[in-house]
Chain A
Amino acid sequence: MELVIELVGRGNRHFDFMKISGERITLGRSFDNDVVLADPYICPTHAVLEEDENGTIILRDLGSVNGTFCKNQQSIAERQAVNSGDEFRLGKTRIRIYRKGHAAEPSIRLNRIEKALNFIGKPVVTGALALTAVLLLLFQAHALELYEIKFARLLSEPIKFSISVFAWAFVWSMYARLKKHEMHFLSQLAVTIIYGLLVELFEISGSWLAYNTGAVSGIDTFSGVIIIPLSFGLIWINYYLSGYQTPKKRLAYTAGLITLIFGFAYLLSTPDADRFRSRPQYFTVIYPPGISIYSAGSNTEYMQDAEAVFDKAKKKVKD
């Protein structure tokens, strides 16, 4: 018989393929075996693979100290029939066997996501994104500066942004590296910058809408909540870029990390939210006339709406 033997590492990581033929294939630590295994928990002559008269592959334990186990952790009796693609364990070593004709998994197609991620990971594209973000932050800092314009002061926000974006991408690349996967540093960086830009975009458009439509509380909540799906997307892609996972696992990891981050943020924010606020909380952002579309209602209308605050405040006494 002709077999391919695969050594499997922790986390299903692939170690090695060995192609071996023979009537009897012995497995063990001593050098006269067909498959020599370095695991100290394996006996010098540990097990043997044979073919019976029907052509079934039989695994036999040769009275080893630590035994031989099927994938379901059951210790095999003296002999055990195994199929192509089955996995078993000797000592602490996991082994999978395949017949020569075993059909290989279909190859994974480079999908659209991957293509897009490769594209934004190109140095030119990542550079352009980074430049856009820095220029926008500089513009914002300049628009907020009421006193003398000092370039060093304008730079503080872009620098803070750059550091955090770099750090985030770096951590993910390191994680990928740890899992012996490509680092994709530029793609990670690009995705993180895009995330930052999107958050900013939603915040600005949200507050602009709130200012112009008067739907202050609704839009405020919306822009507060939108950050969760955005962050979900970011972390999903971070995972995607840092190793192969089944889609289910990736979703689960992402959801877990999101829960952790936002749960922690929530825990940190509660004591503050519970404190009595003696100052009014209202929406203080205003926009210059050139980019506003509000329509000022009549003052009578304003007063009618304003009158409602008394009853709302009274209701708060009861709560």
Chain B
Amino acid sequence: MPVRAENPQQIFSAYADRLYQIKVLEKQSRRKSALGSGFVVSRDGLMVTNYHVVSKFIHEPDKYYLEAVSVDNKVVAITIEDFDIINDLALVKFHAKNTPMLEIRKTTLRKGDSIYSMGNPLDLGTAVVPGTYNGYTTQSYYKRIHFTGAINPGMSGGPVIDGDGKVVGVNVATAGNQVGFLVVAKKLLKLLESYQTRKPGKLDYQRHIEQQLIKNQQELMQTVLQADWKTTRLGEAHVLNEIVPFIPCWGDKGNSRKNKDRFTTISIQCRPKETVYIKQGFNTGMIEVQYSWVDNISLNSLQFTNLLQRLYGGAGPGNSAYEEDVTEYVCHEGFVEKPDERAVFCSRAYKKYKGLFDVLYISTTVDKTDKGLISHFTLSGVEKAPAMKFLARFLEARKWN
């Protein structure tokens, strides 16, 4: 029976037996390689944690094994049952009959409600952190709960419960200074539902990731491509501004004492706050748009060209990935018109997830030496068709003065 608890002490003593520490251990050395928290959601031992906590095991199941440790230090072996890479959730399971569990809350909270985050911060032992519910994150595509309270490494995957002991979210990230982020309970309910309806049989982890990345990318790119792209003025050019609310833009004036008598630059950079974590050193889901406007004050035409050249030559990927994840970039170089620009379009393919690419475009105006515009975007983890549509709209959006 859930008990109504009014203070963290009561919360802790009432629900600590449903908490586990999740460990990813390296097979040969039998040492811990990743740590997180988890909580039980069914009588037969189904547990919830973050995808990123167990991602090492998911990518290299031959090299690692999983364990869960209860508050009273009982160690149980666990298996991966399902996961949602986009919302950073994973379901794991140990053998149990009638083990205590947490219920998931189906109704929404009000801003200011007291909620309690639980987990095992920094491998120091189970802790409870009281905090406040502050609604959903704004300017965000993958809506998260904004939690005011300290979430520390190791608490990832732990539950956040209300005073009735019902789960309202899952610890996932922190922005420091008492700003934490939680996966919304609704996403967890969805995952549990799809798990229960899924055909039994062994999960092919890589295919499962591939399907989820492709589906997410289709929805994301559709939202982006259907949006009415707003433009703004940058120098004498019209450039894209916040194409969708979840890709906010920042401005920057790149002028220092060193160059102020020779040229000035202003730039605008738009990028989402969140990306999709696949594994350490490999993330995706980035959509970046960037422009720099350059005014020539006293450079001669060769010097000005050299400046454009430097800005044009510096394009890099918007996400990080290694050799085992992606191919090297393949590029097409040429000129586009109205205004005349030198433009390069590159893509690299995902090695394990068929049909997905990282894409990058950068161009520089080449027909003027008193002013210039560098236009740039990167997309990561997209299919060819939406990437080409994005390029077409990006080219259409260019307008000089």
Contacts and interface: CB of A to CB of B under 8 A. Distances in A.
Our verdict on whether A and B bind, yes or no, reads yes
Interface of A: 142-148, 211, 214, 216, 276-290, 292, 294-299, 302-303, 305-310, 312-314, 316-317
Contacts of A317: 327, 349-351
Nearest to B328: A277
Contact of A303 (B259, B342, B360, B392): B392
Given A282-B333, A296-B337, A302-B345, 14 more contacts: A142-B303, A144-B306, A146-B259, A146-B263, A146-B310, A278-B320, A279-B329, A283-B344, A286-B366, A297-B337, A307-B384, A309-B345, A316-B330, A317-B351
Given A306-B345, A317-B351, A288 B258 contact: no
Contact of A288 (B261, B304, B313, B331): B304
B330 A282 contact: no
Contact of B303 (A143, A299, A310): A143
A298 B396 CA distance: 12
B207 interface: no
A279 B342 CA distance: 18
B333 A296 contact: no
B334 A302 contact: yes
Contacts of B387: 310
Nearest to A285: B309
A297 B335 contact: yes
Contacts of A143: 300, 302-303, 306
A303 B369 contact: no
Interface string B257-276: 01101110000000000000
Given A289-B366, A298-B337, A317-B351, A279 B316 contact: yes
B340 interface: yes
B364 A286 contact: yes
A135 to B, nearest CB: 15
A285 B364 CA distance: 11
B347 A286 contact: no
A290 B301 CA distance: 9
Contacts of B335: 214, 294-297, 302
A306 B391 contact: yes
Contacts of B384: 307, 310
B330 A303 contact: no
A71 B41 CA distance: 100
A277 B340 CA distance: 29
A146 B345 contact: no
A145 to B, nearest CB: 6
B344 A280 contact: yes
Q: Which of A277, A281, A295, A307 has the most CB of B within 10 A?
A: A307
A147 B262 contact: yes
Interface of B: 258-259, 261-263, 299-310, 312-313, 315-317, 320-323, 326-338, 340-351, 357, 360, 364, 366-369, 384, 387-388, 391-392, 395
A285 B309 CA distance: 6
A303 B394 CA distance: 11
A141 to B, nearest CB: 11
A295 B340 CA distance: 9
A281 B331 contact: yes
Q: Which of A145, A277, A299, A308 has the most CB of B within 10 A?
A: A299
Given A147-B262, A279-B329, A288-B369, A296 B305 contact: no
Contacts of A278: 316-317, 320-322, 326, 328
A279 B317 contact: yes
B346 A296 contact: no
Contacts of B349: 310, 313-314, 316-317
Q: Considering the complex of A and B, which 7 residue pairs feature the smallest CB-CB distances, nearest first?
A: A284-B313, A280-B329, A296-B335, A276-B323, A143-B302, A316-B327, A313-B349
A98 B145 CA distance: 107
Contacts of B364: 286
A281 B303 contact: no
21 contacts: A146-B303, A146-B306, A146-B307, A278-B322, A280-B329, A284-B312, A284-B313, A286-B309, A287-B305, A287-B366, A294-B335, A296-B340, A299-B395, A302-B343, A302-B345, A307-B384, A309-B332, A310-B347, A313-B349, A314-B349, A316-B327
A24 to B, nearest CB: 83
A207 to B, nearest CB: 11
Contacts of B262: 146-148
Nearest to A214: B334
B346 A309 contact: yes
A59 B334 CA distance: 81
A298 B313 CA distance: 23
A41 B180 CA distance: 95
Contacts of B347: 309-310, 313
Contacts of B304: 288
B297 to A, nearest CB: 11
B279 to A, nearest CB: 16
Given A143-B306, A288-B301, A288-B305, A282 B316 contact: no
B360 to A, nearest CB: 6
A313 B327 contact: yes
Contacts of A285: 309
A277 B334 CA distance: 22
Contacts of B302: 143-144, 288
Contact of A307 (B258, B308, B340, B388): B388
Nearest to A146: B307
A146 B258 CA distance: 9
Given A146-B259, A297-B335, A299-B337, A309 B366 contact: no
Q: Which of B342, B351, B388 has the most CB of A within 10 A?
A: B342
A277 B312 CA distance: 18
Contacts of A216: 333
A314 B26 CA distance: 33
Contacts of B368: 289
Contacts of B343: 302
Nearest to A310: B384
B278 to A, nearest CB: 15
A296 B326 CA distance: 32
A147 B327 contact: no
Contacts of B299: 146
A154 B75 CA distance: 69
